[in-house]
Structure 1
């Protein structure tokens, strides 16, 4: 595999191995795949070993004290520098984000000033939990709370104190493997 082709869409997809172990451009050319990488704004994004859970009272599979590391690099259309990918655990966000789905996340830097209600976010809480919820405005006390909603109707909405939120990551895209 040609690293420059994978990261930047330059050169050929595969390298041909020559007798002494050096490489040159491959005789295999997949122009349509290269074009996708160039024209569709695809960027390789690190898939981290952490997860986010749909349930407010569920534990993450990867605990807060386990070191974070990159498992893989995945291509996402529309990704930008700083985006990361993580796995979803649990079914409270199903069917839109089923357990096992990979989410492309983008950090929301000034969330205290403007949240962007109505979107799905991964909230990193001050106790280390990571939860995935659609966040809407809390009508009763919007200055101190947000309303966290599940997609799955079996799970009730809950108010979450803003002071419990450490960081906010907007879900930009979701990859779902349907097994067929």
Structure 2
């Protein structure tokens, strides 16, 4: 299990920081931001990984292996990046992404709030952008782009007011009549004030405007995995 407080502890060790203030300076953030991460059990993985290019990310995430990257791992990472350059995402070559069962964690809100949530497995794929976790797709609202049983890998959004990129695909938890409704949708701008428009890929599902205040948890979908089997 990946514990984010432990990641900060290992980063503190690797950066030779003797205090939280030193670690905040190393990361280029305010001490209050670091304190907020600790209290919420959260991290900005993009920022952390950008400071750790010389570190073995498996060690940083789990404490296993050597602290420093092996020379051949460093060279392999450089060669892949040069061969397949991407413009927007910071790729992480040694991620170990936890796969969660939403039913077992009682929904997306509980999953994001539970720093001790236990994954059912881990996913390791080369050259992914930084991800916080992965869950199974349920329902057909994004069919045929996504189908029930696929896996989506996500990055949690903490700032719902300014952290939304219009037109992108999101994992969304909304409060509907007191119940948690979890879905995957494109988020578009709405003509209604203080609302967003949820748009499906499946043409049989109509777009729906909801107040942004109804959204209780939000994560940007970074990648998806599909199994094709012959029965």
Smaller-chain TM-score bracket: 0.5 to 0.7
Other-structure match for 1:21: none
| Structure (1/2) with the larger helix percentage | 2
- In the TM superposition, 1:18-167 aligns within 5 A as 39=80, 41-50=93-102, 63-64=106-107, 69-76=118-125, 77-80=127-130, 83-126=132-175, 127-139=179-191, 141=192, 143-167=193-217
Hey, what's the Cα distance between the residues in 2 that align with 1:170 and 1:86?
Answer: 12
C-alpha displacement of 1:101: 0.6
| Equivalent residue pairs, number | 142
User: Contact conserved, 1:45 with 1:79, CA < 8 A, in 2?
Assistant: no
C-alpha displacement of 1:129: 2.3
Q: Over residues 72-127 of structure 1, what are the superposed CA-to-partner deviations in whole Å (9 max), with x where a residue is unaligned?
A: 011133242x6100000111101111111100000112121241110000112233
Secondary structure in structure 2 of the residue aligned to 1:97: coil
Larger relative contact order (CA 8 Å, sep ≥ 6):
1
Secondary structure in structure 1 of the residue aligned to 2:213: helix
Root-mean-square deviation (Å): 3.2
Unaligned 5+ segments in structure 2 are 1-55, 67-71, 82-92
Secondary structure in structure 2 of the residue aligned to 1:104: strand
User: Contact conserved, 2:99 with 2:119, CA < 8 A, in 1?
Assistant: yes
Unaligned 5+ segments in structure 1 are 12-30, 52-60
Structure 2 length normalisation: TM-score? 0.53
User: Contact conserved, 1:147 with 1:160, CA < 8 A, in 2?
Assistant: yes
**Could you say which structure has the larger radius of gyration?**
1
Hey, what's the Cα distance between the residues in 1 that align with 2:205 and 2:180?
Answer: 22
